[in-house]
Structures are given as structure tokens and as C-alpha cells.
Amino acid sequence: MEAWLKVKSVQREKFPMVGFIKDPTGVAALYLGKQEGKELRYMGKVGTGWSRTTSRKIRDALDTVVSPKQKLTKPIKKPKATWVEPKFYADVEYRDITSEGLLRASSFKGLSKGTRRS
């Protein structure tokens, strides 16, 4: 008898936050990007992994860098988004990247202020 062992790989990376969806006390979701050369590419969103307190802290930080328009190289349509300068990074765990280039099964693990590399 053969036994199969299913192993889920988890990857972790820091992504610049390019926008967010507001909720009454903080954030409902974060829009993430990835710097590839001179391009800032959309990587999807994360909507889980934080407490109410952390959600408030993320919102307080992002409210300081709100931008009138998105900073992505190829703009995306997100009517509920509040766009921000990509100065803060989300430490995110994810399972995979889809064929469309978006994060799969992403979960927020932390917030950091990044220095932008050109």
C-alpha cells in the first residue's frame, strides 16, 4: 500500500501596498504590487490575517500616503480602492501565484515601512 503525503508550500514575501478598501475602523483589504525593474505590477489583494487593532494601525499608516491616482504601471479598475504611494510594505504569506500573476491564498503577517529601490 502506498501512502500519499500532501505538502502545501508556503511562501513569504514583502509587497508594497498600492491601495486599500476602507472599512469603518480600518481596512477591509489591501491591494499589493511588486517592483519589477521600473514597473510596479499588480499582484492581487490580501483581506485576512489582521486583528481589529492591526487593521486600525494599517489604516493610520496608509492615510498618511494617500494618492489621488494609482501608482501601478498598468492601471487596474477597482472602484472601491483608495490609492496610496507604495511606501509601506505588507509581509504576506501565500501558497502560490496564479497563471494571471496574482497571489493565491494570501494572508497578512506584518507591516513595514520600506525604502523604495529603483
Q: Where are the domains of the chain?
A: 21-113
pTM above 0.75, yes or no: yes
DSSP 3-state of 101:
coil
- Can you say whether residue 37 is alpha, beta or left, with left for phi > 0 and alpha for psi between -120 and 50 degrees? left
At residue 6, the pLDDT reads 72
pLDDT for res 116: 47
Mean pLDDT of the chain: 93
- Reply yes or no on whether the pLDDT at 26 is more than 80: yes
Superfamily (CATH) of domain 21-113 = Nucleic acid-binding proteins (2.40.50.140)
Query: Is the pLDDT at 74 greater than 60, yes or no?
Result: yes
Question: For residue 115, is pLDDT > 90?
Answer: no
Per-residue pLDDT band for 11 (boundaries 50, 70, 90) equals very high
Helices (H) and strands (E) in the chain, counts: 1, 8
